Chain A
Amino acid sequence: MSKNIANKQMICNVLMEAAANDRDIVVLCSDSRGSASATPFFEKFPSQSVEVGIAEQDLVGISAGMARVGKRPFPMSPACFITARSYEQCKVDVAYSHTNVKLIGISGGVSYGALGMSHHSAQDIACMTSIPGMRVYLPSDCWQTRKLMEVMVKDNEPAYIRVGRNAVDPVYSEDDCPFEMDKATFIAEGTDVAIIACGEMVLYAKQAGEILRQKGISASVVDMYCLKPLDEDAIVKAAQNARAVVTVEEHSPFGGLGSEVARVLGEKCPRKMAVMSLPDAPVITGTSKEVFAYYGLTGEGIAKKAEGLLNG
């Protein structure tokens, strides 16, 4: 069985496989090839690699221009910069101009830990999903990342993909990774509570489901890797079978998964609900795991929140 690797490294692997057969696949970096794990791509495919230097607006604008001339650009840069620093380029040059650019945000969320709020991306789901025509994906582990990227190297629409910095424990396995494009994955189906998570939080949501099961509480666990287009049917399906819904995300409480799920449930299937997220404040200093634990974003923390909601 293949080794578990960081999601960004899996992105590079898929891009290298695709680039061997498709000369239009291009990777662009903003002095970020090392942190993006894209160095092997730059070394193997120098004629399909573009370095733009520390200039993220340029990174996205150049990518859009290349796409307009038929290339399939994959700009890879820290999520905090490629979304916030380049936001207008993402909006105008990519989404509005409808160029086939796949924006890869690496080291997303609080991956950069102690580097502080300048390097955290806790606003990217909110800002990117609100751009018309921009798809937004937060895969949970390297195997789901592989499935997603195999679609991304072939389709022709703009998208933003956010992944974390470090290898994370897998949710799936190489041989068992159910995946349907733009459809959430039901990891477990239950009747008491639905836990809907995205990105690195899915692993903890899965753990919470197991903890709850041991306590006799039946939980659905939904991997909503597709923030946009959001799989609204999956949200309703999970909620219909449950008395309460918990959402979990590595993002601001504003405009992320919790907000979106609340919108859908409010319209279609009202349920008691809890939104678990990062705080609306600079996060405490620490590694990702330390930060998650501090804010209760763990299997135990999610299970406790779900129990409290059911008993409340």
Chain B
Amino acid sequence: MAELNLKKLCWKLRENLLDIIMSGKGGHIGGDMSVVEALVEIYFRQMDVTPENFASGDHDHFVMSKGHSVEALYAVLAQKGFFPLGEVLEKFSRFGSPFIGHPNNKLPGIEMNSGALGHGLPVAVGMAIAERMNSSAHRVYVVMGDGEQAEGSVWEGAMAGANYRLDNLCALVDRNHLQISGNTEDVMALGDLHGKWASFGWHVIDVADGNDLAELHSAFEEARVVKGKPTVIISNSIKGKGSKIMENKASWHHHLPTQEEYREIMADLKAAEENA
């Protein structure tokens, strides 16, 4: 089998998540689009997790702390073979469906329910402590939003991660600079986010373009060899990445595209896929 063209795959997954959102008549499209490359890097080049090894628990772990970006996660998990994309399109947000608007672990491939922000990092810290108690080589990954950094529980987890020197833990902040009410710096300024994490004792890697797979890949590879402390990757991404009508607009946090907007976005995504 030819190796997956991951760049093309990212655009394909954006098309899929757009269709998921349209099928369920809702979703958090802006943050879905910004986090696609990070999820693809984690699921296709970093984590050892497959539909085959998932039930055993003997695999790397992932927590989607910014749980509202579940449509991107569904697209990735479908591509990994955890469930068919068609099933997501048929059931997303429908009456009685397990495919709800935040991750839930009744679905294969999802370990923890999330949606309430600020929960994922402490949970990931617990997973990393447990894997180390087990003398296991499994690594733990967690993706947070940048608006989520205002939650105090994030920093409780940050203290514990550094205290326990969890070098098997790698967090990523999807730093798209926007949250539902506007720019993060206007809502609740994150300021020197790098400095904040560094002062908590974490190894901090800034990724200038969080929608660039090569940059993300080298950051995650660097995280693997850091010893004695956890790593956080601050991934500067673009909210609504992929279509000029959405990019860098807070109003697209959870806007449902009109049919006309859908056609325009899809055309942009197809063109990008073609050129990737």
Contact = CB atoms under 8 A, between A and B. Distances in A.
A40 interface: no
B130 A71 contact: yes
B130 A61 contact: no
Interface string A56-70: 011011111111111
A62 B122 contact: yes
A150 interface: no
Contacts of A73: 126
B119 interface: yes
Interface in A124-180: none
Given A55-B156, A57-B153, A93 B119 contact: yes
Given A69-B57, A69-B61, A61 B129 contact: no
Interface string A66-85: 11111101000000000000
Contact of A68 (B115, B123, B134): B123
Interface string A27-71: 000000000000000000001101011010110111111111111
A113 B118 CA distance: 33
Contacts of B133: 26, 47-48, 71
Interface in B190-249: none
Contact of B126 (A48, A55, A68, A88): A68
A13 interface: no
A93 B134 contact: no
Contacts of A58: 122, 125, 153, 156-157, 159-160
21 contacts: A52-B156, A53-B160, A55-B159, A57-B118, A61-B119, A61-B122, A61-B156, A62-B129, A62-B157, A64-B122, A65-B112, A65-B123, A66-B127, A68-B61, A68-B123, A69-B126, A70-B57, A88-B119, A92-B116, A93-B123, A98-B105
B64 to A, nearest CB: 12
Given A61-B126, A62-B122, A70-B130, A97 B105 contact: yes
Question: How extensive is the interface on chain A, given as a class?
Answer: 20 to 34
Contacts of B268: none
Contacts of B264: none
A252 interface: no
Nearest to A56: B156
Contacts, number: 104
A98 B107 CA distance: 13
A61 B125 contact: yes
B131 interface: yes
Contacts of B104: 96
A67 B113 CA distance: 13
Given A68-B127, A69-B57, A73-B126, 11 more contacts: A57-B122, A60-B122, A61-B153, A61-B157, A62-B126, A63-B126, A64-B126, A65-B124, A65-B129, A88-B119, A93-B113
B168 to A, nearest CB: 11
| Contact-residue size bin, chain B (C-beta under 8 Å from the other chain) | 20 to 34
Contacts of A26: 130, 133
Contacts of A52: 156, 160
Interface in B95-139: 104-105, 111-116, 118-119, 121-131, 133-134
Interface string B46-77: 00000000000100010100000000000000
A89 B153 CA distance: 10
A65 to B, nearest CB: 2
A55 B160 contact: yes
Contact of B113 (A53, A66, A92): A92
A68 B112 contact: yes
B119 A66 contact: no
A107 B87 CA distance: 49
Contact of A97 (B57, B112, B121, B129): B112
Interface string B29-49: 000000000000000000000
Interface in A252-276: none
Nearest to B61: A69
A69 B127 contact: yes
- Leading 7 A-B pairs by shortest Cβ distance: A65-B126, A61-B122, A62-B126, A58-B156, A69-B130, A65-B123, A55-B156
A65 B116 contact: no
Nearest to A71: B130
Contacts of B126: 61-69, 73
